[in-house]
Amino acid sequence: MPKACHISACGLVTPFGQGMEFNLRGILDGNTAVSLVDGAGFGGETLPLGKISHLHPNNRFGHLMAMVCGQISKAIDNSLLQNEQTIFIISSTKGDIFKLPKPAFEIAKRILQSTIKPYHTPIIVSNACISGVASINLAAQYISNGYYKRAVVIGIDALSDFVAFGFQCLHAHSQMFCKPYSADRSGVNLGEAAAAVYLSQNPKEHTAYTALCSPGFTTNDANHISGPCREGLGLSRSISKALAKAGLRPGDIHLISAHGTATQFNDDMESLAFDRLGMGHVPVHSMKGFFGHTLGAAGVLETITSLMALEQQIAFKSLGAENLGTAKPINVCVGNVPMRIENVLKTASGFGGGNSSLILTKL
Amino acid sequence: MKIEYCHITDNEVYLNGTLAYTDSLAGEAFLKSLYKQLGLNYPKFHKMDSLSKAAIIGVELLRLDSQYLSDDQDDSLALLFANSSASTQTDVKFEASYKEGGLPSPALFVYTLPNIAIGELSIRYKWRGHGAFLIQPSFHPENFIGDASICIQDGAKACLCGWVEIGPDDVLDCVFFIVNKDTLYSRSDELLTLYQNYQDERIKGEA
């Protein structure tokens, strides 16, 4: 069995602010980083969005990338970042969509190159909403297979009319603050963020917010391109395989950091998957009420909030969840609950039918 | 002849390096023509964007004679896809639908992610295993081999690798190949030679 890898947070930019402390404070205070943005909708509607203020209006993606790269440079020594045994992986669904039809991911590579100067060209994962978790899994597998000694995974997506209008035309974006797992949930709130994690097997290279990462697996529902398999079979298979690989049983998981986008389909599907595995009683939360759905950043951002939960020994609330109502009952955290947390299961599901999961274990 | 790889260019198909189909039509029209020539019956094909159409045709060509691409597989088959332009051509069309067309089109929006091509293959053939889509500057078969090796170690019997490049005006440049644990490295070398030869011929032709 491959050795589990150490993982720690090394960069975070959200509407709460930059770095771990602002974000942890926001979560513990129960505030949302989502705000009502006038005129954001296709018809001029006000939309609740996790929008970061003060991003350069003509270069939102580039500015966001530069900020997270700045944080990574401060968090990790250059000798490690520029080492030949270090690989960078960028997870993003649309990249710099604002420059269409120019290639959307070139700017991310350029900014990375100019701020950090990594040895290798970064790997770019564009796999819809599972990109973040899938990228962390890829990094952990590269390390456990000896391809590289360490990895930095950056998840990043910026808000755009392109994606907002797209979700609207699918009737998937709510005009209210999103309500994960609630009976009257009405869709996502989109958000933007850049989040970075550092993986290596050398514990000395990590500082705070560190845990063991056991990579999981990606599966496909083989059902519909923009809707999950109704029974959640693909997700439950992804979770089973991750547990087996980590040598754990469902009962060993203390907290599930789920995808919880607040669409009817996703939340029902997740409840069925968790219930099928006998995990209906395990505390589960969605962080989408705090940050919105940050797409390519989500898996990395929510891995970082899972690292926070492990450090603080607090299961964060599913902000926005009320009057719970999913296909199967699940144990949604409705407050910030101090509890013993040793193993966190992080899951993600996305357009294209993908499901991906990983497990974080307290050191 | 086991079909191990196919190369779909703008109006030609090479199977195992030998020209197998050609047409006066190009791009998406060529893909539609291949759909008819292969006798396919899958109405969903016509709703797909060029990226997904190319993926379906590529797989159907390989399935003419391949033991690894049967329907209904959990983790025995992994899908590793890449290109340099993501879903740009469809993105442009979606953007036009709301900027010029007056209304954002859901039929187009659902294709504005490159991994949807993997989704369409998974749906058609009931492939429920690993899938990944990467963005890379150009086609290098060896880029797929490291990830394929990991999938095979994790239990996949084979990896279906796809370079699915759709350029402006839906110009096609797609290579699909299969690797298993025995052909991981040999396939990559063969492909690199064939692909390089094709590129050299194309450049000569344009000169």
Collect all residues of chain B within an 8 Å Cβ-Cβ radius of residue A123: 134
Tokens at B143, concatenated: 């880029």
Averaged pLDDT for residues B150-179: 94
In percent, the amount of chain A with pLDDT more than 70 equals 99
Least confident of A34-48, A69-83, B178-192: B178-192
Averaged pLDDT for residues A174-180: 98
Residue matched to tokens 């970064």: A122
User: Residues for chain B: how many in total?
Assistant: 207
Q: How many CB atoms lie within 10 A of CB A77?
A: 10
Question: Is the CB of residue A146 less than 8 Å away from at least one CB of chain B?
Answer: no
- Chain B's closest residue to A140, CA to CA, is B150
Say what the pLDDT of residue B190 is: 82
Q: What is the pLDDT of residues B5-58, one digit of tens each?
A: 899 999 999 998 889 999 999 999 999 999 999 999 999 999 999 999 999 999
Averaged pLDDT for residues B67-81: 96
Write b or e for each residue in B172-202: b if 16 or more Cβ atoms lie within 10 A of its Cβ, otherwise e: bbbbbbbbbeeebeebbebbeebbeebeeee
Task: Provide the pLDDT confidence category of residue B164 given band limits of 50, 70 and 90.
Answer: very high
- Chain B's closest residue to A215, CA to CA, is B154
CA dihedral A111, A116, A119, A122 (to 10 degrees): -40
Note which residues in 253-312 of chain A have CB less than 8 A from chain B.
Answer: none
Collect all residues of chain B within an 8 Å Cβ-Cβ radius of residue A127: 115, 131-133
Peptide bond into A228 cis (omega under 30): no
**Cα within 13 Å of Cα(B6), Cβ side:** 24
- Chain B's closest residue to A220, CA to CA, is B128
Question: Is the CB of residue A151 less than 8 Å away from at least one CB of chain B?
Answer: no
User: Residues for chain A: how many in total?
Assistant: 363
Say what the pLDDT of residue A2 is: 55
- Chain A's closest residue to B109, CA to CA, is A166
Return the amino acid letter for B30. Answer: F
Q: Is B132 in contact with A166 (Cβ distance < 8 A)?
A: no
Averaged pLDDT for residues B85-113: 97
Least confident of A281-285, A341-345, B117-121, B176-180: B176-180
Q: Is A353 in contact with B122 (Cβ distance < 8 A)?
A: yes
Is the predicted pLDDT of residue A45 greater than 90, yes or no? yes
Say what the pLDDT of residue B191 is: 82
Say what the pLDDT of residue A3 is: 66
Return the amino acid letter for A232. Answer: G
Collect all residues of chain A within an 8 Å Cβ-Cβ radius of residue B123: 222-225, 353
Q: What are the φ and ψ backbone dihedral angles of B155, each rounded to 5 degrees?
A: 120, -5
Task: Provide the pLDDT confidence category of residue B207 given band limits of 50, 70 and 90.
Answer: low
Question: Is the CB of residue A224 less than 8 Å away from at least one CB of chain B?
Answer: yes
Q: Using DSSP, state whether B52 is helix, strand or coil.
A: helix
CA dihedral A307, A312, A318, A324 (to 10 degrees): 120
Collect all residues of chain B within an 8 Å Cβ-Cβ radius of residue A218: 130-132
In percent, the amount of chain B with pLDDT more than 90 equals 77
Averaged pLDDT for residues A290-301: 98
Counting one residue from chain A and one from chain B, the pairs whose CB atoms sit within 8 A come to 139
Distance from first CA to last CA of chain A, Å, rounded? 19
ipTM of the complex: 0.97
Cα–Cα distance for residue pair A358/A48, rounded to 1 Å: 29
Q: Say which of A42, A142, A224 has its CB closest to residue B123.
A: A224
Is the predicted pLDDT of residue A1 greater than 70, yes or no? no
User: In the predicted model, what is the mean pLDDT of chain B?
Assistant: 93
Collect all residues of chain A within an 8 Å Cβ-Cβ radius of residue B118: 220, 352, 354
Which residue out of B111, B122, B136 would a mutagenesis test of the A interface target, given it has the greatest number of A Cβ atoms within 10 Å? B122
Averaged pLDDT for residues A93-121: 97
DSSP H stretches of helix in chain A:
20-28, 60-75, 78-81, 106-115, 131-144, 161-169, 233-246, 264-276, 288-291, 298-312
Averaged pLDDT for residues A122-132: 98
